[in-house]
């Protein structure tokens, strides 16, 4: 038998700054000298030094990932205010009104650092974690979302990361039977050394079965699901620091997912909750047992006592602190009244899953831990969970925006085809098809829309979450990092604008937002300035539109010695469709008139066109009042049956939006841009101004449509008529584009594939 002590004392009290810094580095704490001095002062008042398990636990709870120490102040100032009444609850996931009996749950997070080190496992466990966030609210997961960002595919590393991440997401999601219905894939050189993997999940839950992430005094803490191992140790501290050449050594911080265990775990947890046997439930994610027990106890106004030796392990020899902070996957924590213990055990035994009592909720607000009857841990829960908070110094320095004069292109077709074949515009079918977006039988509108064999990109997917109701949820996500690079404020407004455009395009009313805020090192004033401007914009537009942020995540330190990522605030949007049978798709349906809704301006900054011709420009702005009026008007026209198809205008401008509509319907168009005024033809075609849609109007309802839009002071411009097998666009007498649909499909369809061979 080993005679080594269970825990070791950490000599904090009286140590100088250099020694404190060494402690943090040697123990992998990720704590600053100032933070260690706060901890030192806490234990000095208690007349002792901390043990290694205590200081490791505090390091997890005080990490950027867990306590949002650099962002909480700004989030509370701009985003977490004026919460609309449709939010019923916000914990691990946001819970929002769906109908009188049901609510929907939304969770949205990042798994960036793990995916850079081990893309398959990092992305897979990102999905596993976000699903647990929804399940622990009592909700059944019905949809997954995956916005992804990589460096250019000309590099071997980017191809490796892309294939690993997509495989991880598809394998995990497909195996647990939850469809991946929405997302985006974006390529930019500034993601080469630091890819981003954001993941979201939407669930459905009876209001009577919503459960909190808390415990009440006297409850038993029951650990269910997988065993605890060394995988995932220091996961949150790893995610709260910049990546470096040594980050490969942190591979052990990446958790190991097990979807074969997760699938029955979902069923068992939901069954126990449905039968009213649970007082609380929370997933074991960042920070492991330490964070989940502390947060559940504090939320319930109580404390906790844990017997750590009861935790089922994957292997022998784990130290107590390793058991406490491990982030091994497929684990959930239940708080259960002792009278329900036997019934809970029976449920998990029936699903062939482990269920182990590891502690009890107590009256005193302390977390106390024993190991083989030896007391090894005692910390006040407020001190543990509340963490620290900073008002970081920030500096705002946007790039200069100006309208740059340049020659009009001689060959519009060459420009058009170059844009269509660029990785950010080209077909993503080869990625989308690796996901099962129909498992569960709830997916009404899929990511690819249109005629069989001729599908094109849709704007949002639509889910029918309930068997006995035609009410549905529309889901989308978006951001344009090229806009963000130039102007984080306008780029953030644009992200929300585009999400709203996407939701409206399928016939849904925007109902809620979620944000995953990916930024560089917050200790650098310029990086913090980008964050400040983004959060300010996100709060402003959401308040004006009356939309809540139901869920969110901040991911800082997305930075390497090669540089920082672009500011990337990814927005997830959920809309409500009262009748899914009236959903609108993006593909052209017949020989109908085509109209442009919205104002086109000379806003080329960050556009795909500007990248090809190497010019700068002004980033598209957003008029929130016009956006609001446009949403109302378009949904009204859809309800009247005036609109047959609809597609928002984003990357690539009118040219790309119109092409995608034609590709989906396998129908051409005869278009004329002269109704757009005296702007140059290339600006008309390729500007990426916000708050614009292209709509196919039912020919017999055209007059009513035009009158309605004019009455609402939202001009609509006639662009032409669908028909034939070519896209033919002119501007008065000047021919611009005349290309067969078949050639456009070939160029667009192979644009990404040529890099993946």
| Active-site amino acid positions | 65, 111
Q: What is the dihedral of CA 489, 494, 500, 504, to 10 degrees?
A: 160
* Structure-token match 């446009």, residue found: 630
Structure tokens at 470: 């035609």
Give the gyration radius of the chain's Cα atoms: 27
First to last CA, the chain: 57
Name the CA dihedral angle for 8, 14, 18, 20, rounded to a multiple of 10 degrees: 40
Query: How large is the angle between the packed helices 259-274 and 119-135, nearest 10 degrees?
Result: 10
Q: Which residues touch 249 (CB under 8 Å, ≥6 apart)?
A: none
| 730: nearest Cα among 720, 722, 740 | 720
> Which are the contacts of 19, defined by CB distance < 8 A and separation ≥ 6?
11
In sequence order, what are the residues at sequence separation of 6 or more whose Cβ sits closer than 8 angstroms to the Cβ of residue 349? Answer: 355
Residue 424, phi then psi, degrees to nearest 5: -80, -15
Distances (CA, A) of 142 to 111, 163, 440, 441, 472: 20, 25, 8, 10, 12
Angle at 78 between CA 76 and CA 81, to 5 degrees: 65
Helix%, strand%, coil% for the chain, nearest 5: 40, 25, 35
Strand, coil or helix: what is 382?
Answer: helix
C-alpha to C-alpha distances, 287 to 81, 90, 94, nearest whole angstrom: 27, 20, 21
Question: What is the spatial distance between Cα 216 and Cα 218, in angstroms, rounded to a whole number?
Answer: 6
Under 8 Å between Cβ of 608 and 420? no
Q: State how far the Cα of 492 lies from the Cα of 487, in Å rounded to an integer.
A: 8
Give the Cα separation of 224 and 622 in Å (integer). 48
Residue 596 and residue 720: Cα distance in Å, rounded? 10
The structure tokens listed for 227 are 């065993």
| Dihedral of alpha carbons 379, 385, 386, 387, sign | positive
């Amino acid at each position: 038998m080993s005679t080594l002590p269970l825990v070791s004392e950490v000599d904090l009290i009286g140590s100088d700054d250099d020694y404190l810094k060494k402690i943090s580095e040697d123990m992998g704490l990720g704590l600053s000298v100032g933070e260690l001095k706060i901890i030192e002062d806490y234990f000095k008042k208690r007349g002792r030094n901390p043990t290694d398990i205590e200081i490791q636990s505090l390091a997890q709870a005080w990490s950027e990932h867990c306590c949002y120490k650099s962002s909480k102040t700004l989030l509370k100032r701009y985003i977490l205010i004026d919460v609309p009444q449709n939010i019923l609850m916000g914990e691990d996931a946001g819970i929002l009104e769906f109908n009188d009996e049901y609510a929907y749950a939304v969770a949205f997070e990042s798994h960036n650092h793990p995916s850079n080190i081990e893309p398959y496992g990092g992305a897979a466990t990102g999905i596993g974690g976000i699903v647990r966030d929804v399940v622990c609210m009592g909700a059944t997961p019905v949809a997954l979302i995956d916005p992804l960002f990589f460096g250019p595919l000309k590099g071997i590393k980017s191809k490796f990361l892309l294939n690993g991440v997509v495989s991880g997401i598809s394998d995990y999601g497909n195996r647990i039977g939850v469809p991946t219905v929405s997302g985006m894939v974006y390529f930019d050189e500034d993601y080469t050394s630091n890819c981003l993997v954001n993941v979201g999940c939407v669930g459905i839950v009876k209001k009577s079965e919503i459960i909190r992430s808390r415990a009440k005094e006297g409850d038993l803490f029951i650990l269910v699901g997988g065993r605890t191992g060394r995988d995932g140790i220091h996961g949150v501290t790893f995610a709260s620091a910049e990546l470096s050449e040594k980050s490969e050594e942190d591979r052990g911080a990446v958790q190991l997912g097990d979807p074969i265990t997760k699938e029955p775990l979902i069923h068992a947890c939901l069954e126990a909750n449905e039968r009213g046997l649970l007082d609380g439930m929370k997933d074991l994610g960042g920070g492991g047992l330490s964070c989940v027990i502390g947060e559940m106890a504090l939320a319930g106004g109580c404390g906790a006592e844990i017997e750590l030796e009861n935790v089922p392990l994957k292997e022998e020899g784990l130290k107590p602190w390793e058991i406490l902070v491990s982030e091994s996957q497929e684990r959930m924590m239940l708080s259960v009244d002792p009278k329900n213990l036997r019934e809970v055990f029976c449920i998990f035994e029936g699903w062939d899953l482990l269920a182990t009592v590891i502690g009890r909720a107590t009256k005193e607000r302390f977390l106390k831990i024993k190991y083989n009857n030896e007391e090894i841990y005692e910390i006040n829960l407020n001190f543990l969970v509340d963490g620290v908070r900073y008002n970081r110094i920030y500096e705002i320095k946007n790039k200069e925006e100006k309208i740059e004069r340049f020659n009009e292109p001689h060959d519009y077709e060459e420009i058009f085809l170059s844009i269509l074949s660029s990785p950010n515009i080209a077909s993503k079918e080869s990625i989308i098809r690796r996901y099962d977006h129909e498992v569960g039988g709830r997916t009404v509108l899929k990511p690819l829309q249109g005629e069989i064999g001729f599908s094109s990109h849709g704007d949002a997917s639509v889910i029918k979450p309930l068997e006995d109701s035609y009410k549905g949820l529309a889901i989308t996500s978006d951001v344009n990092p090229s806009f963000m690079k130039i102007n984080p404020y306008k780029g953030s407004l644009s992200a929300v604008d585009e999400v709203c455009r996407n939701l409206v395009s399928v016939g849904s009313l925007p109902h809620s937002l979620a944000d995953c805020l990916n930024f560089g090192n917050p200790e650098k004033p310029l990086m913090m300035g980008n964050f400040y401007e983004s959060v300010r914009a996100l709060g402003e537009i959401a308040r004006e539109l009356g939309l809540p942020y139901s869920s969110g995540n901040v991911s800082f330190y997305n930075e390497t010695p090669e540089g920082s990522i672009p500011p990337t605030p990814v927005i997830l949007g959920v809309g409500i469709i009262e009748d899914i049978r009236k959903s609108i798709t993006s593909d052209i349906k017949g020989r109908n008139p085509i109209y442009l809704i919205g104002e086109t301006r000379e806003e080329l900054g960050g556009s795909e066109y500007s990248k090809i011709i190497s010019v700068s420009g002004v980033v598209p702005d957003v008029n929130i009042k016009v956006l609001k009026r446009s949403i109302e008007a378009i949904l009204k026209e859809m309800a009247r049956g005036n609109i047959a198809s609809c597609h928002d205008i984003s990357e690539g401008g009118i040219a790309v939006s119109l092409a995608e509509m034609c590709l989906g319907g396998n129908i051409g168009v005869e278009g004329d841009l002269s109704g757009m005024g005296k702007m140059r033809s290339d600006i008309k075609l390729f500007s990426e101004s916000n708050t614009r849609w292209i709509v196919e109007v039912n020919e017999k309802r055209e007059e009513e449509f035009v009158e309605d839009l004019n009455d609402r002071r939202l001009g609509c411009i006639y662009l032409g008529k669908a028909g034939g097998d070519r896209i033919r666009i002119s501007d008065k007498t000047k021919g611009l584009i005349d290309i067969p649909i078949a050639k456009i499909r070939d160029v667009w369809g192979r644009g990404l594939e040529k890099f993946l061979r």
